Amino acid sequence: MNAAELRNVSFSYGEKKIFDGLSFILPENSILCVLGPNGSGKSTLLKIMAGLYKPEKGVYLFGGQDFSIFSLREKAEKVAFVPGEINTPFDFSAMQAVIMGRFRFKKWWQDYDAADENTAMEAMKTLDVENIASRNINRISSGERQLVFLSQAMAQKAGMLIMDEPSSHLDIKHKVKLFETVFQMKKNGLSCVYASHDIKASLAFSDYCLCLKYGRLFYFGPSCGMSNDKLADLYDIGDAGNLKNFI
């Protein structure tokens, strides 16, 4: 069974067309990196796959079923999403933020319990942020916040993790930790989709690569198939030799 499939998906913001007839199939238990220039539609694609946006035309299938038919709880069981920018207007602690990932296991009248706390703490330990569990989420660094909300997504225990620019604020130690964690999740049977400008690491740790160039599918296939020539064309660099200092 495939993890996800887009069939002729179209989407617009008002008069601005983002996609028109986008199609691809992601096999289950796969890691997919999404690459492309700024404004090419990467974040919009992730939001469609997370169920935040519904295609204007076409269909998004998850596990062979139309994702739009699922309830919110069912969607949370299937997909955990970490956006690129997260605003937290309330002064939650880092632990309180992470434990909210357990919401799908609770009825509306139920509180989080010790088992939820243990799951949340284990997720934080995986990403080396257990030491800031009691800290105010609005008084930690951007990188720490990023790891906290990644921990929240892990605590959700969904079948697929979707992340927008997950390594953008991370130091090299935590970038390595992030990609190692994603790879371990794959070994445990999960799938992962993420957009990134961290080209070298993304291609090294992913099974498949999907490249968007201003709303059109530029490339979809094994990550090992992305050459420097293709990357130069994707980003309008001109001479592929200019990439040697960056990837």
* Cα 148 to Cα 169: distance, rounded to the nearest angstrom: 12
Query: Which CATH number applies to 2-243?
Result: 3.40.50.300
Comparing CA positions, the residue from 42, 77, 58 lying closest to residue 161 is 77
Domain borders along the chain are 2-243
> How much of the chain, in percent, has pLDDT values that exceed 70?
98
This prediction's pTM: 0.93
- Reported as half-sphere exposure (CB side, CA atoms, 13 A), residue 202 has a value of 26
H/E stretch holding 195: strand 191-195
Tokens of 113: 């319990």
Q: What is the pLDDT of residues 198-209, one digit of tens each?
A: 888 899 999 999
Q: What is the pLDDT of residues 80-111, one digit of tens each?
A: 999 988 878 888 999 999 999 999 998 888 89
